[in-house]
Amino acid sequence: MLLDRVQRLFPIVSDPYRVLSEGLEISEEQVRQRIGLLKQNRVIRQISAIFNTGALGYRSSLVAMAVPQALLESAAQVINAYPGVSHNYLRPGSFNMWFTIAVPPGRELDAAVCELSSRAGGLPTLLLPAVKKYKLAVVLDVLKEGDWNQTGEALEFPPTESDTKFRPTPANIAVVKCVQEDLPLEPRPFGVWAESLKMGEPELIAILSDWVRRGIMRRFAAILNHREVGFRANGMVVWNCPLDRIDVIGAIVASYPEVSHCYSRPAYKDWPYNLYAMVHGRTRKECESTAQRLAEATGLCSFRILFSTREYKKIRLKLFWDE
């Protein structure tokens, strides 16, 4: 239950481990020790702020590139070298290299992708930014079936968009660069961060709470290693959905707990898919079963599910990097 709780929302308070211990019948110190052990065993990757990059002025997209077998390694090196690329996978099909890219304020997304394509060998590329986001919350159901209902806690996910903008002052940027790192495993962790930022702990907590409220920060939470908690398979399911139904169907797909991300994206002549969902499971067969249930629930029975065959890059995106 602790692992489920910290990946949904880590308390942004002076004594977060005491708050987490409530209802778990363990002490504040035991909570901290257990989290330390989960980190040591690589179950928890880190506990940090998860930002809405769009609210911070970044522009991002999924990109698909058609890379000949002979150029896979060199193309991957070019793409991975850009600090705004956080994920890069090999998937089956003519468009076989799939990566996510974010560019900072003042940089054109199209230009950055064109530059990478040119440096990789002038390869065919599809720019697939999110037209609409239906779900964006990588929260894995680590509880046994039925356990979550016994906790009495609501299943709430953060908004996919923010209606306010981030003020990129030097002080605010310093806070972002600090809190996107792993939270110190100390009794008063926000106080440690506040000291490094030369501000008071109440001020930092107030800033972070305000950013969550305004949607600038999606949530402050633990990021898990999927494989270490048993979710060893994930697949990208794509459909060609009628535009007049896409919002309704997107909402249906997003309602499934096995789905962590759901977007509508532009379609192309060579790639006619406009609805995407990432599904997670303990096995590939579970992912395939979920995709079939989604197809039946939506009436879109023609779909493709793409499994990654190689991982070239997978990191947390670090915002406000030095160019």
User: What would the pLDDT profile of 71-121 be if each residue is shown by its tens digit?
Assistant: 999 999 999 999 999 999 999 999 999 999 999 999 999 999 999 999 999
Q: Residue 281 and residue 293: Cα distance in Å, rounded?
A: 13
Domains delineated in the chain? 59-137+228-313 (3.30.70.3460)
User: What would the pLDDT profile of 180-217 be if each residue is shown by its tens digit?
Assistant: 999 999 999 999 999 999 999 999 999 999 999 999 99
Q: What is the pLDDT of residue 138?
A: 61
Q: What is the pLDDT confidence band of residue 145, given thresholds at 50, 70 and 90?
A: very low
Which residues are known to be catalytic? 87
Q: How far is CA 214 from the centre of its chain?
A: 19
Q: Residue 313 and residue 68: Cα distance in Å, rounded?
A: 19
User: What would the pLDDT profile of 251-309 be if each residue is shown by its tens digit?
Assistant: 999 999 999 999 999 999 999 999 999 999 999 999 999 999 999 999 999 999 999 99
Q: What is the pLDDT of residue 94?
A: 95
Q: Residue 186 and residue 117: Cα distance in Å, rounded?
A: 44
C-beta of residue 64 within 8 angstroms of C-beta of residue 97:
yes
